Amino acid sequence: MTADRSAAAIAAIRINGVDCPVPADPRMSLLDLLRETLHLHGTKKGCNQGACGACTVLVDGERIVSCLSLAVQHAGRSVTTIEGLADQHGLHPLQQAFIEHDGFQCGYCTPGQICSAVGMAAELKRGVPSHVTQDLASDHVAFSPDEVRERMSGNLCRCGAHNGIIDAISETYAEAAE
Amino acid sequence: MSIAEEAKLAVRGAIQGVMEKAIELAPDSWMPGGKPDSLIATKHGSIGASVPRIDSPLKVQGKAPFAAEFELPGMVYAALMFSTVAKGRIATLDTAQAEAAPGVVLVMTHRNAPRMESMPVFLSAEKAGGGDNLPIMQDDRIHWNGQPIAVVLAETQEQADYAVALIRASYEQDAATTSFATAKRKGTEPGLFMGQPLKTEKGSADAAFKASAAKVEATYTTPRHNHNAIEPHAATVAWDGDRLIVHDASQAVAHTAWSLGKIFGISEQQVHVTSPFVGGGFGGKCLWQHQVLGAAAAKLAGRPVRIALSREGVYRLIGGRTLTEQRLAIGADQDGRFNAIIHSGTVATTRQNGMPEPFILPTMSSYGSPNIKLDVEVVYLDMLANTFMRAPGESVGTFALESAIDELAVSLGIDPVELRILNQPSEDPLKGTPFSSRHITEAWRAGAEKFGWSKRSAPGTVRDGEWQIGIGCATATYPYHRMPGGAARITLTRDGYARVEIAAHEMGMGTATAHTQVVADRLGLSRDQVTFAYGDSLMPGVVLAGGSQQTASIGASVIAAHHVLIKELLKLAGNDSPLAGLGTDEVGTLNGGLAKLDDPSRHESYVSILTRSGRDHVAVEGSASAPLETMHWSMHSFGALFCEIGVNSVTGETRVRRFLGSYDCGRILNPKTAASQFRGGIIMGLGLALMEETQFDDRNGRVMNPSLAEYHVPVHLDVPPIDVIWTDIPDPRAPMGARGIGEIGITGVGAAVANAVFNATGKRVRDLPLTLDKLM
Ligand code: FES
Ligand code: FES
């Protein structure tokens, strides 16, 4: 047990391609590690209780709410935050689509919406069914506005940018899915 | 109220009455807007273009800095402990264990907090911004369930949160009034808003109602609501000697700076409030106790403090919209023409603020009637101070008014759209002043056409599987406001660039984008030559981001500064300029310079004027005229709302299938951001209609659902595609021809949905939200 713990303590979390030490305080959430220790403020805190999705990041490509997971759980894993989505060629296509479709107002839920949508698109591609999927037996899930709306419902937006968000996601991923 | 106080109010009322009459009767040309803003006539400028938000690259990359993201050297984190009783005093408060916990810097309670004044409560003075006027940690008294009783500062948030859990408190409770029903039984009092009773009567409404051929009368109720901006309230606070620096999430930077100055006994110039980005406000992001506690704790610790409220903290500390119980009675003749409208009822409020939810506001201007009676009564509860939330008054008042009109339409067998058009007034129904611009009938016609209103069927007759389908409509309405105090600075540099500074706010409305467009047109520049700076109390102007007035206030402030700029530039241009000899009234700004209005060939560029005069810049400031136009004309925006819903016949669940809003709000400055604002308001309205309620425990005054898991807001699956159209007819009396659009979106939506539910099911629900238990 003691040995395990010290092994974890020296293990690193890979964040946007950079190795970061696991924090000493085991109570620290992944969200607080990002925001307070690493100064990556792009990931937002809206509730700290898993209810709003503002803190969504990608861990090994899967979306999670970073407020509900402890940083120490992520040793040896790879985390992508909103800061890690754009590359040297510029904005991620989804970021660009959010601008074109006005998928935000205040912008506070936006990083979570975008990271969540990237993870969601991968889930759709893998054929993971949702509450609104009609044919649960098929391993192909058709892209539809309802699938997107259902799957994005964990990301709250109080400004009411919902239509723009769904349009931006649909434009970016609909064709790829067909 | 004492007799002396009543007399004082009466005198104040009489003086105001005389002033108002004089302004109403004065010639148009004396008024701001008497000569329409010259930008209204400009056709091919930047105004009206669908420009993407100028801050969008920052926002999609998570690079826009919010209040809890400022980092200051030596900063510590705050956590709060909240009282668990509604009234009484703290009997014991044991902080020893918390003080000894790892990382804790100090625990602040009423025993060691610095001496401070109470917050100047909002509207009690020009720049007063406080949500309540209670002593803040100055004594052991408890005034509401959830009041902060201790602040822990620690090196990390985790340490501060843990230490709060170690504090032990006990209370001596006093009898508290926390039940609306009990308070009402003891009697109501007239609601006062800025010292004036929310009560008015024209004709004799009760008698006219009784004598009417057609009548509807019912009681409508709406619950408490919370703003629930996704960014929780936060401030990063530091003292630099006797200067206070607050990085805030604020829709009132100037108000906050002045009020904090009063509280800490320093001048407003010693307080610097910044707020570059706000993660949603909706009326909730003004001055509340957390900024004060953060500043007090920072003073005590001698270190900067980050005070970021938990989501629960937002519910405990920041007031929301209060509940309303409204009686709406309409009397009409057989053709549907209104004879009497009575809108009265009771709301809950507190002694420590001044905000009786003014639900009668929509009834003051929406329809004509020879007899109108309006009255807001209040009861005072021992609870967290309630406050402004998006369209205070109209958002819930339209639920009663527009539901009742639907009920009248049903009982008379008249199309509810036609009934509304029939009862349009030709002048302000109460004041008799002319409308500055009112094109609601056009909005109704265009909306009905686009929505397909004519296909409406009789109640309870359309089904789609297990869904009962219905459509409904309602009027949206919100006034044009412009508050006093607007001012702006324009700095023009020799390279031909302009910077406008004003202490305004960007909470997602698109302020910076729209005003970059406006300033570009006003100065004859391209958008990339214009910088619009805002969100800083050191900038000119007292510009509340509230009452949908920011656009008008900024517009009028820039008009004033622009006027001064022309004067300055003409002086600098001197006698060697093609403009020589011209007066300020003969000159305008055009193509990056000044030009004679009726002969644009007499033109000199800013670059040339500044270069010739050897100046590298010119900076001017202007103060907006007093907003007399709002008294001289009746200035209101309107909208025609249509929605289609389905009610599940098995579960009673209501789902909105489509929605259309057709608005008349003057000129639209940026269709892209405007459409988003309308939609955002409508979606908050869908929440009000279907799911939103701050649950309040009547027994002890505690909010029972202080989390986003238990207070439901619309999520993606709840939001259908929303169509938004507008008349785009400029209001000749408003700067740029534009009336504000931030709040009208939420108005009328509750009734549109309820009316559609009636059309689907034949059931009339008069109690919001329309949850499934009411439709089973
Ligand atoms: S902050 Fe993590 S879900 Fe709200
Ligand atoms: S853009 Fe403000 S919460 Fe979504």
Whether cis (ω within 30° of 0) applies to the bond prior to B627 is no
Q: Do residues A73 and A106 both lie within one domain? A: no
Give distance in angstroms: CA of B480 to centre of ligand 2: 25
User: Distance between CA atoms of B360 and B347, rounded to whole angstroms?
Assistant: 11
Structure tokens at B522: 């006003």
Does residue B3 surpass a pLDDT of 60?
Answer: no
CATH topology of domain B393-481+631-774: Aldehyde Oxidoreductase; domain 4 (3.30.365)
From the CB of A48, is ligand 1 less than 6 Å away? yes
Question: Do residues A66 and A132 both lie within one domain?
Answer: no
Cα distance between residue B548 and residue B743, in whole Å: 6
Is the CB of B230 within 6 Å of ligand 2?
yes
Domain with CATH 3.30.365.10 in chain B: 393-481+631-774, 484-626
Distance from CA of B318 to the nearest CA of A (A): 15
Asked whether residue A2 is domain-assigned, the answer is no
Q: Which domain-ending residue is among A84, A108, A143? A: A84
What is the pLDDT confidence band of residue B23, given thresholds at 50, 70 and 90?
A: confident
Query: Is residue A113 one of the residues assigned to a domain?
Result: yes
- The answer to the question of residue A4 being in a domain is no
Distances from the Cα of B555 to the Cα of A82, B308, B518, B666, angstroms: 35, 33, 8, 14
- Please give the residue of chain A at the shortest CA–CA distance from B708: A51
Nearest ligand 2 atom, CA A104: 1
The pTM (predicted TM-score) of the whole model is: 0.96
**Tens-digit pLDDT profile for residues B97-108:** 999 999 999 999
B362 CB near ligand 2 (under 6 Å) = no
CA distances (Å), origin B587, targets A20, B572, B603, B615: 62, 14, 9, 21
Domain of A55 in residue numbering reads as 9-84
One domain for residues A113 and A164 = yes
- Nearest-CA residue for atom 3 of ligand 2: A157
- Residue B431 reports pLDDT greater than 90: yes
Condensed to tens digits (0 to 9), the pLDDT of residues B381-393 reads 999 999 999 999 9
Q: Is the pLDDT of residue B12 over 90?
A: no
What is the distance between the alpha carbons of residues B449 and B453, in angstroms, rounded to a whole number? 7
Q: How far apart are CA B597 and CA B600, in angstroms?
A: 6
At residue A1, the pLDDT reads: 40
CB contact under 8 A, A32 and B721: no
Exposed e or buried b per residue across B279-302, where buried means at least 16 C-beta atoms within 10 angstroms of its C-beta: bbbbbbbbbbbbbbbbbbbbbbbe
Q: Is the pLDDT of residue B13 over 70?
A: no
What does DSSP say about strands B271-274 and B305-308: parallel, antiparallel, or unpaired?
unpaired
Strand order in the sheet with B587-590: B587-590, B593-596, B599-605
The H or E element spanning position A171 is: helix A162-177
Domain count, chain A: 2
Residue nearest (by alpha carbon) to ligand 1 atom 3: A50
Q: How many residues does chain A have?
A: 178
Give the distance, in angstroms, between the CA of residue B293 and the centroid of all CA atoms in the same chain: 25
Mean pLDDT on B150-154: 98
Class of B484-626 per CATH?
A: alpha beta
Mean pLDDT score of chain B: 96
Ligand nearest to the CA of B311: 1
- As given in the structure block, the two tokens for residue A100 are 């074109």
Could you report the predicted ipTM of this complex, rounded to two decimals?
Answer: 0.96
Res B118: pLDDT: 98
What is the structure's pLDDT at A145?
Answer: 92
Tell me, yes or no, whether A66 lies in a domain.
yes
CATH number (domain holding residue A110): 1.10.150.120
Nearest-CA neighbor of A119 among A173, A44, A160, A76? Answer: A173
User: Which of A51, A86, A108 has the CB atom closest to B707's CB atom?
Assistant: A51
Q: Give the homologous superfamily in CATH for domain B67-175+228-317.
A: Aldehyde oxidase/xanthine dehydrogenase, a/b hammerhead (3.90.1170.50)
Reply yes or no on whether the pLDDT at B252 is more than 80. yes
B732-769 pLDDT, tens digit each: 999 999 999 999 999 999 999 999 999 999 999 999 99
Per residue in B571-615, pLDDT (tens digit) is 999 999 999 999 999 999 999 999 999 999 999 999 999 999 999
Q: Is B281 in contact with B227 (CB distance < 8 Å)?
A: yes
Looking at the CA of B59, name the nearest ligand.
2
Q: How far apart are alpha carbons B126 and B143 in whole angstroms? A: 26
- A17 with A77, same domain: the answer is yes
pLDDT digits (tens, 9 = 90+) for B196-225: 889 999 999 999 999 999 999 999 999 999
Judgement on whether residues A54 and A125 belong to the same structural domain of the protein: no
CATH number of A39's domain: 3.10.20.30
Q: Range(s) for CATH 3.90.1170.50 in chain B?
A: 67-175+228-317
Residues of A in contact with B68 (CB under 8 A): 45
Residue A123 CB neighbours (<10 A): 17
Q: What pLDDT does residue A9 have?
A: 47
Of residues B729, B473, B707, B502, the one with CA closest to residue B624: B502
pLDDT at res. A71? 96
- Say if the Cβ atoms of A91 and B60 lie within 8 Å: yes
CA angle at residue A68 from A65 to A69, to 5 degrees? Answer: 95
> Does residue A78 lie in a domain region?
yes
